[in-house]
Structure 1
Amino acid sequence: MPPAIEIHDLHKRYGDVHVLRGINLSVAPGEGVVLLGANGCGKSTLLRCLNRLTPHDGGTIAILGTEISTLKRAGLRAVRHQVGYVFQHFNLVPNVSVFQNVLFGALGRNRHGLLRTWSAFASAEDRDRAMTCLERVGLAEKAAARPSEISGGQQQRVAIARMLMQAPSIVVADEPIASLDPKAGREVLELLFRIVSEEGLTVLCTLHQLDLAAEFGQRIIGMKAGRIVVDGAAGDLPRADLDDLYHGAVRVDQPAGTVTADLVPA
């Protein structure tokens, strides 16, 4: 079985700013990895490169054995379907129900497009699956509510249910608890890692909380200045090595005309 994620000598630049500087990374199927690093170290850019939301400039990325850099539209869509994202900002559609937001997770695998993900037109199978996903995150009773009517922690649970609706093999969670208070954040993280474990999914999750990283991650990867400088089993890494990821970190201003990105000096 190929690695879930295989990255070799990955580089990304924004103009004169060298963001990713030769990243090498292999993540096994079913592995739970936490990615650490100060703001500006390049970790968010790395996550966006994984499904070519941001194109890389050099090196290779393979997802489940498929190298993505030369894929055409249909092939790239198939790879993206295998990677579910959970973001810091929940990205829910505000003027529709929680249930409808979860149904939107079926869009990538629905051959009939957006129309068939609307509740009135969705298949009975998709409607049943959406409710099952809400039950998995403990929010079946909130199916008819709108996002504004539930808490931030509950909104992130809806986003996790939407990701489950996609039926991915890999979950990428980009600071999923950064917008939540500590209690709600821990509950969401416990839920996310329990579900990916039960489903046998691969997870790559960025965090800033070192204690939570050590508690939930099987493996911790640390980035600094566009490079991986720490990589090991969560229980084997000295705390000083993790603390050092946040000491002496440098961030430069975004060059004009580029998209928002984590940036490090060339």
Structure 2
Amino acid sequence: MAAALEVKGLKKSFGDVTVLRGVDFTLAKGEGAVLLGANGCGKSTMLRCLNRLTSFESGTVRVHGTDVSTLAGAKLKIVRRELGYVFQQFNLIGNVSVFQNVLFGALGHPGGGLINSLSAFAPQAERDRAMHCLERVGLADKAPFRAHALSGGQQQRVAIARMLMQSPTIVIADEPIASLDPKAGREVLELLFRIVSEERLTVLCTLHQLDLAREFGPRIIGMKDGRVVIDAATDSIHISELEGLYRADGATSAASASRHAAE
């Protein structure tokens, strides 16, 4: 199966602090994985490197075969459209409508721009698509509401609709439920993974909840100290290996160590 996202030897430092120490993994088209690791292990930095929101010193990131490290200007913008991000913070504009927030997802479309993404000037096709995206997340009835009037779970659903409006092929969800209560968080995860499955999108989702990671992620990529130390099908990983990602001593299980040595 063709690769949607390839990361090889990715290294990144901030001054004297090395954050990424040669990260390697590949996601096939339509594949889903959960990314785990303690705070400070380099997860968020790595995610921001994928579309060059953060630069990196060495290594390669390929999106559908295109090396992003060699791109700039319009060519980089084209590749960035392929990656749709959902963040812990919803990053909505609170005092404008839900519908307008979703329309902003079309800013990067060919022929787009700020004017054509405003509800008063947006082409009918874009307006129809924005409503379709809201229907996908169950919030079509909230289209005229201001975003700040919605609950946290609803705002994250709007953020997912805005991401869908972008028409990405790869979804990067960086702790999308960290700001939500357990019930709302589960509902958002169920929605996100259902949509990416139905749309056959590739998804990489960072979580801290091991039970949810094992439930929703068919594959788990575990990072520690700037490296990938676990990369396997979820049902082949013992819970002690996942817990090891959060231990200060850096220990992982013998099973994990032997598997990576074999690979």
TM-score for the superposition, normalised by structure 2: 0.93
AA in 1 matched with 2:237: L
Q: Cα deviations across residues 174-213 of structure 1 (Å, max 9, x unaligned)?
A: 0000000000000000000000000000000000000100
Structure 2 unmatched ranges of 5 or more: 251-263
AA in 2 matched with 1:197: S
Q: Separation in 1 of the partners of 2:232 and 2:211? A: 15
Identity %: 67
Structure 1 unmatched ranges of 5 or more: 251-266
AA in 1 matched with 2:88: Q
- 1:174 aligned partner: 174
User: 1:249, CA displacement in angstroms?
Assistant: 6.6
DSSP-derived class of the 2:3 partner: coil
User: 1:111, CA displacement in angstroms?
Assistant: 1.6
User: 1:97, CA displacement in angstroms?
Assistant: 0.1
Q: Separation in 2 of the partners of 1:34 and 1:180? A: 18
Q: Separation in 1 of the partners of 2:192 and 2:135? A: 14
What is the aligned length? Answer: 250
Q: Is the 8 A contact 1:96 1:146 kept in 2?
A: yes
- 2:61 aligned partner: 61
AA in 1 matched with 2:241: D
- 2:220 aligned partner: 220
Q: Separation in 2 of the partners of 1:115 and 1:70? A: 30
Q: Cα deviations across residues 83-140 of structure 1 (Å, max 9, x unaligned)?
A: 0000000000111100000000001114241100000000100000000100000001
Q: Is the 8 A contact 1:102 1:159 kept in 2?
A: yes
Change (3 A) 1:74 1:119: same
- 1:106 aligned partner: 106
Question: Mapping of 1:1-266 within 5 angstroms?
Answer: 2-248=2-248
User: 1:3, CA displacement in angstroms?
Assistant: 0.9
Moved over 3 A (4+): none
Q: Separation in 1 of the partners of 2:143 and 2:67? A: 38
Q: Is the 8 A contact 1:224 1:249 kept in 2?
A: no
DSSP-derived class of the 1:75 partner: helix
DSSP-derived class of the 2:70 partner: coil
CA RMSD between the two structures: 1.0
Q: Is the 8 A contact 1:38 1:249 kept in 2?
A: no
Q: Cα deviations across residues 137-180 of structure 1 (Å, max 9, x unaligned)?
A: 00011000011111000000000000000000000000000000
DSSP-derived class of the 1:243 partner: helix
TM-score for the superposition, normalised by structure 1: 0.92
Q: Separation in 1 of the partners of 2:249 and 2:34? A: 19
User: 1:2, CA displacement in angstroms?
Assistant: 3.6
